[in-house]
Structure 1
Amino acid sequence: MKTDTLFTKPISKQFEFDAEVAAVFDDMLLRSVPYYKESQSLTRRFAINALENGGIVYDLGCSTASLLLEIERMVAKTENVRLIGIDNSAAMIEHARKKTEAYGSSIELFEGDILTFGYEKAQVFISNYTLQFIRPMVRDGLVHTIGENLNEGGVFIFSEKVVSEDPKLNKELIDCYYDFKKVQGYSEYEIVQKREALENVLIPYTMNENMQMVKNNGFKSCEVLFRWANFATFIAIR
């Protein structure tokens, strides 16, 4: 796994999921997202629970397909399960294909736009820190599309960075997160550089805004599976 050192030099552009990011993305996730392995373990568990009778799993913004590979290892290939990953980054899909080919995986990968993809009826949709990169004016429409393409009783499991409705608490949550990143080996300079690169690219909602968004789009319920400071994993049931 290549170490993330992207922000040790001055930034020249806004953050994007290009070849440079794809090359270090697995390390970036582990060192930038608190308790990433634990939240992904919960995502995997509840996704597999929903696949008791088979079905399609879509991973929106699948990056290097690590989560789909973990799910595949736990469901027999002979079972009636299809695992589909979609990402609009050619570099991410290239890395994902190399990994899936190395494991002899049957995961289906598509370079495409999750806003316009032609979905089939599915049992599970997963979105790991992806909605926050979708512009708010079309984010609600994507969640509506997800709801429309889930079977009754199907689940939408998504993780997001969240903001607090209280300005003082929000600052404290950000400070807490920056301290976490320092413990992971990121310098103050790297933290500031990445924050500036993500300005106006990553647009998070509050906890309530995320939960209300899914409830407004055909989901019976939405619960928080995991939260650490300003990072949360939700499960919504169709």
Structure 2
Amino acid sequence: MNDKNDKVFTKPIKKQFEFDEEVAAVFDDMLERSVPFYKESQKITKFFALKNLREDGYLYDLGCSTASLLIEIHRDLHAKATLIGLDNSKAMLARATRKIEAFGADVDVQEADILQYDYKEADVFISNYTLQFVRPLVREELLKKIAASLREEGVFIFSEKVISHHSKLNKDLIECYYDFKKEQGYSEYEIMQKREALENVLVPYSEEENMTMAKNAGFSHCEVIFRWANFATFIAIK
């Protein structure tokens, strides 16, 4: 059996979800089997990142995990640009470093608190399913910091799990998502275990709340460029 397959929630959970070595070891598999159309959303993210990255520009990936997207962006990079990935998980960054070396990619990954980091003026910020793990009280502050660090017309591309404030629709969206996970081979037990582990750790907003937050933070425009049920990819333009 492939030890890179996600089996994290096949046993009883003893703690809240965290990005430790156990999760880092299977994270790429977890993403592809837990996030519908993950590869497609990443292709769109890469497309808009490359469109907006100028010569000698900066791109930051917040919560870069194992650096897969940064490596993909580097592979198709035509401009001379600096690609920086930030994460607070040592386990994720250790795997990211090994992958970067294996692919010979010119990508810099750093252990950092994305709320405190001193950003250079950038063309592009990316965050894949990271904002939802930032406490709501400081989430808008982070977006203000991102907006302030972007050049005019720079972009912030972010993917998030979203909720609906229509209770029946929200329930149906969750059921639709659980059906997807079952199709990927996850058991009812694993699905329940992960939901319990993420309780109060992952706090999603609605599509409208994410767009309002971006506009309140100083972006001139924000809209959805990809969505499947309760997963969405947004682009915010300064």
- The TM-score normalised by the length of structure 2 is 0.98
Equivalenced residues, count: 236
Q: Which amino acid aligns with 1:221?
A: H
Q: CA deviation at 1:106?
A: 1.3
Equivalent residue number for residue 75 of structure 2: 73
Q: Percent identity?
A: 65
Instruction: Give the aligned partner of residue 226 of structure 2.
Output: 226
Contact 2:161 2:231 (8 Å CA) reproduced: yes
- Unmatched 5+ stretches in structure 2: none
Contact 2:54 2:81 in 1 (8 A): no
CA distance in structure 2 between the aligned counterparts of 1:132 and 1:20, rounded to whole angstroms: 21
Counterpart selection for 1:34 from 30, 33, 36: 36
How far apart are 1:217 and its partner, in Å?
Answer: 1.0
Q: Structure 1 residue 80: deviation in Å?
A: 2.4
* Aligned counterpart in structure 2 of residue 9 of structure 1, from 7, 11, 15: 11
Q: Deviation at 1:104?
A: 1.5
Give unmatched runs, 5+ long, in structure 1.
none
Structure 1, 44-53 or 30-39: larger mean CA deviation: 44-53
Say if 2:132 and 2:204, in contact at 8 Å, map to a contact too: yes
Q: Which residue of 2 aligns with 1:183?
A: 183
1: CA distance, partners of 2:99 / 2:216:
37
Superposed structure 1 runs of 4+ greater than 4 Å apart? none
1:131 matched residue in structure 2: 131
The alpha-carbon deviation at position 52 of structure 1 amounts to 4.2
Q: Hey, what does 2:65 align to over in structure 1?
A: 63
Q: How well do the aligned residues superpose, as a CA RMSD in angstroms?
A: 0.9
State the Cα distance separating 1:7 from its structure 2 match.
0.4
1:120 and 1:160 map into 2 onto residues whose CA distance is: 25
* Counterpart mapping for 1:1-238 below 5 A: 2-76=4-78, 79-238=79-238
Partner deviation per Cα, 1:204-230 (whole Å, 9 max, x = no partner): 001110000000111110010000000
- Please say which of residues 60-69 and 79-88 is displaced more in the overlay: 79-88
Aligned letter for 1:13?
Answer: K
Q: Can you list the C-alpha shifts for 1:23-77, whole angstroms capped at 9, x where unaligned?
A: 000000000000000000000000000014451000000000000000000014x
What CA distance in whole angstroms lies between the structure 2 residues aligned with 1:115 and 1:25? 23
Secondary structure, counterpart of 1:109 in structure 2? strand
C-alpha distance after superposition, 1:115-172 (max 9, x if no partner)? 1011000000000000000000010100000000000010000000000010110000
Q: Distance in 2 between matches of 1:16 and 1:209?
A: 25
